[in-house]
Amino acid sequence: MSFDLVVQQALNGISFGALLFILAAGLSLIFGMMDVVNLAHGAFYMLGAYVALQLVQLTGQFWVAALVAPLVLAALGLVIEPLLLRRLRGRHLDQVLLTIGVSLVIVDLIGLVWGREVRTLPYPPGFDGSIAIGGSAYPVYRLFVIGFAILLAAVLYYVHRRTAIGAVIRAGVDDAPMLSALGVDTDRLFAITFAVGAGLAGLAGVMAAPAFGLQPGMDVDALIYSLIVIVVGGLGTLNGAGAGALLVGPADTFGKVLFPEFALALIFAIMALVLLGRPSGLFGRIRIGR
């Protein structure tokens, strides 16, 4: 493999990892706070992409879509949590099952409204070109995605570590019942957490759409990858989402290039191995009684 190719694939891997981080951060947040594996996360991702598509068709503005679509998803999350999930408080397995049902509904309705053919979202103007890296051209948009993810990570990290709301979130991840006993409105906290998680999934959907397109089945792919990322990196922590994404992204990319037949199975094998050897992942925090 030539050096140019290596650099290209490395960048592909990192930009894929960047997308995975945005996607997995939401899933990790929800799991860390509420002990719920949101199996509708892929559906949220998919919906974010399709809503963005609709908005771009309406307004012609990618950036409007990139702003509004995640907000739509957050609003949806703000409805789903109190309406459905809250009724199953404490029944973690049932909550997971509920998200499966939600996912079935969302995905089918997407197909109903937008059809089941492959659709594309155009690159935002100004970011549709290529830049010379080494000896060959590399899509600017992918570099943008990397930059955006870094920025997002910085913002999330700042909020998580340096603000009051971040402290509440950290405490909630650590011990939600205690937080409730201390007088914090955990109902509202959980609803907001779920909304933020959904919004992040939607954001990932928007960002990924120009590069990956929109088609049936994208929810399953997204869900599987985000599960792998948070399992490998660490359940329930932002560090974990980042570490996992940075590992899975390049591993998947290089795997597909080097041994395409087994790349998929390889990634799953990594996940299963981590679950068996170190159930809390690289940076996760395992809690008693789960």
Partner 1 sequence: MIAPLLAAAAFAALFTFPEWSGGLESARYMTTILRDMLVFAVFALSLDLLVGRAGLPSLGHAAFFGSGAYAAAIAAQSLRTDEIFVTLGAAMLTAAALALVIGLLSVRASGIFFLMLTLAFAQMVFAVAFQWTDVTGGSNGFAGVPRPTIFGLDTSAPEAMYRLVVVVFGLVALLVWWISRSHYGRALVGIRENERRMRALGYHARSLKLSVFVLAGALAGVAGALSAWSFGFVAPNDVGMGRSIEAFVMVLIGGAGTLLGPIVGAGAVLFIDRVLSSAIPFSQAVLGAVFVIFVLAARQGIVGWVRDTAVRVRG
Query: Given the rule CB under 8 A, which residues bind partner 1?
Result: 35, 37, 84, 87-88, 92-94, 96-98, 100-109, 112, 220, 224, 227-228, 231, 260-262, 264-265, 268-269, 271-272, 275-276, 279, 290
CB of 109 to partner 1, least distance (A): 5
Q: Which is nearer to partner 1, 94 or 175 (CB)?
A: 94
CB of 275 to partner 1, least distance (A): 5
- Give the phi and the psi of residue 131 in degrees, each rounded to 5: -125, 150
Neighbour tally for 120: CB within 10 Å: 12
How many Å apart are CA 34 and CA 187, to the nearest integer? 11
How many Å apart are CA 290 and CA 287, to the nearest integer? 7
How many Å apart are CA 189 and CA 199, to the nearest integer? 15
Buried b (16+ CB within 10 A) or exposed e, 135-166: eeebbbbbbbbbebbeebbeebeebbeeeeeb
Reduced to 3 states, what is the DSSP secondary structure of residue 133? Answer: strand
